[in-house]
Amino acid sequence: MTERVIVHLDMDAFFAAVEQRDHPELRGLPVVVGADPKGGKGRGVVSTCSYEARRFGIRSAMPISEAWRRCPGAVFLPVRMNAYAQASDAVFGVLEEFTPDLEPVSIDEAFLDVSGSIHLFGTKRDLAERLCERIESETQLTASVGIAPCKMVAKIASDLRKPRGIVIVEPREVEAFLRPLPVGKLWGVGKRTQAALENLGVRTIGELAERPREELVRHFGKQGEVLHDLAHGRDDRPVQTESETKSIGREHTFEQDTNDPLLIASTLMKLCEGVAFRLRRAGLQGRTVTAKIRFEDFTTLTRSTTVASPLDAAARLYELASASFGRVGLKGRRIRLIGVSVSGFQARPRQLTLFGEEPGAAEREEKQRLIADTIDRIKARFGQGALHHGTTLERPGEEE
C-alpha cells in the first residue's frame, strides 16, 4: 500500500513579505498591512504583519487601533490585493510543477498530495527543501512546509517553525508529535471548545487522546467523535484539486457568541464579498447559495437556495443568504459561527450585454456583474479596503 504523503505549504507573513520585497527600505522594519489606523482611532483589522511587528504582540485579525497602540512607529500599509495575487500566481505556478494534486486553501496556502510522486524527489526533506528553494528563487519570498500522513498534521507541522520552517512527521511519529501540543492546535477547537476542554482538565492533545471516546461524545455530541479521531491523528480528508471543488465559501467564528443583528449582518456581507471575489477570480458563477449558522450550543443548520440565473455578485449573495437566515428564525439566539458558500458552477460569460429593450432579470444580473468587475478593479489598484458595501460599515470586519 502506497504511503500517504501530504504537504502543507504556508507562505511566511505573505502580504507584509510582498511589501518588504517590493520596497527594500522596509526590510527589518515592523510592517502592518490592513486598515488605516488613523492615529489609533481607525476601524478594521490587521490583515498581515511582518515578524518584526509580531515582536510587539501584533497579530492578524487584531483591531488596527490596538496594533497602533502597541507599535505607533510601525509602517502601516493598505492592502494591495493585485500585487499579492500576482505573487500568489507565481507561487502556485511552482507548486504545479511538483504535483497536479494541489488544493489551494487561500491566496498564500495550499495542500499537495505527493504520495505517488515522492520517489521523483528523493526523501521528504529533499522535496521540502527543493520546494522552498524554487519558491524563493522565483518570487524572492519564503515559505514554511509541513509534511505528514494527513492534512491536519501537515498543517500543524507547517506552523511550528516559521519562518522558513520545515517539519516532517513520519506515520509512526504522529501521536507522539501531537501529544505535547496545546489542544487548541486541533482543527475545530476554538476558544469556546478549548475552555470547555480545559474545564475537563484537558490542556494538551495527549490528554485529549487519553479520554474515552464515549466521554467526549457525552460532553460534545458528534463533535466529540471528531475530536477523539483528530487527537489520535486520524484525518482521512483528501487533497481536493480545483477541478474537483464543488463549492466556494467562507466562514467566520465570532470571538464571543453574539445575537447582535448589526454585527451579524456586517460580517455576513464581508463573507459574501470574499466569496464573490473568489468566484470572479476563478471565472465562475453559481446557482446555489448555502448559508450556514452555528449556535452557541453547537447546533448547526444550513439552508440552500437555488436560483435560475447564475451569480457572482456580493449584493445578490447577501440577499439570498440573509433570506436563508430569516427562514431559520434566530429569535435572539446567540450565534457562534456563520458562513456562506456557492455551488452549481458554470463558466462566467466573457461578454456582457448592458442594454436591452426591457430591464429584465438577465439585464439586471449583467449590470450587477459589471459593477462587481469595477469594484474588483478598484480594489486591485487601491486595496481591499477601498470599497465596501454599506452593510459592512456597521461594524469593523475582517480583511480579505
Given this model, what pLDDT does residue 353 score?
A: 41
Asked whether the predicted pLDDT for residue 136 surpasses 80, the reply is yes
Domains recognised in the chain with CATH numbers: 1-170 (3.30.70.270), 179-231 (1.10.150.20), 246-394 (3.30.1490.100)
Q: What is the mean pLDDT of the chain?
A: 85
Kindly report the number of other CB atoms within 10 A of residue 206's CB atom.
16
8 Å CB contact between 269 and 392: yes
Asked whether the predicted pLDDT for residue 35 surpasses 60, the reply is yes
Asked whether the predicted pLDDT for residue 25 surpasses 90, the reply is yes
Which H or E run contains 105?
strand 102-106
User: What tens digit of pLDDT does each residue of 164-185 get?
Assistant: 999 999 999 999 999 999 999 9
Residue 292, C-alpha cell as written in the block? 450556514
Q: Cα–Cα distance between 80 and 100 in angstroms, integer?
A: 29
User: What tens digit of pLDDT does each residue of 142-154 get?
Assistant: 999 999 999 999 9
Given this model, what pLDDT does residue 68 score?
A: 96
23: helix, coil or strand? coil
8 Å CB contact between 262 and 395: yes
| Mean pLDDT, rounded, for 44-56 | 92
8 Å CB contact between 88 and 107: yes
| Mean pLDDT, rounded, for 236-247 | 77
| Mean pLDDT, rounded, for 56-85 | 92
Given this model, what pLDDT does residue 19 score?
A: 97
Active site residue 173: no
8 Å CB contact between 15 and 84: yes
Asked whether the predicted pLDDT for residue 73 surpasses 50, the reply is yes
Given this model, what pLDDT does residue 79 score?
A: 86
Bridge-based pairing state of the strands 6-11 and 109-113: antiparallel
Beta-carbon contacts of residue 195 (< 8 Å; ≥ 6 apart):
none
The size of the chain, in residues, is 400
* Residue 298 vs residue 193, higher pLDDT: 193
* Residue 362 vs residue 208, higher pLDDT: 208
| From 109, 273, 365, 366, the catalytic residue | 109
Q: Cα–Cα distance between 35 and 43 in angstroms, integer?
A: 7
CA-CA-CA-CA torsion sign (243, 247, 250, 253): negative
Q: Per-residue confidence at 318, pLDDT binned at 50, 70, 90? A: very high
